[in-house]
Amino acid sequence: MEKNLIHSNELHFIDKKRIHRAVEQLVESLELAAGSTTGFNLYAVVESYFTDLDKRREINRLLHLEQDICEEVEEELGVYEM
């Protein structure tokens, strides 16, 4: 059975419920007490990274990561415009 992989120019297609389930698994596997507390919300960070191009750029800039060429393509295609 072939698996359909999501590429970086399709991140916004990931269902938010799936993102939250994945974060729950991460929290459990790292044995964290919680994924969100006052001043820290791993769920919001991960969801924003996958669904909001501007937030992804901001996070990447904070982490000193180079801009992905896929972000430029997404912007040109107006992927996030409603």
Global confidence as pTM: 0.69
Burial (CB count <10 Å: 0-12, 13-18, 19+), residue 78 = exposed
Q: pLDDT tens digit string along 8-58?
A: 778 888 999 999 999 999 999 999 898 888 888 999 999 999 999 889 888
Q: Residue 73: is its pLDDT beyond 50?
A: yes
Can you give the residue ranges of every domain in the chain?
A: 11-78
Q: Specify the pLDDT at position 68.
A: 61
Distance CA 6, CA 41 (A): 24
Q: Tokens 């992804």, residue?
A: 56
Element (H, E) at 43: helix 42-51
More confident residue, 12 or 77: 12
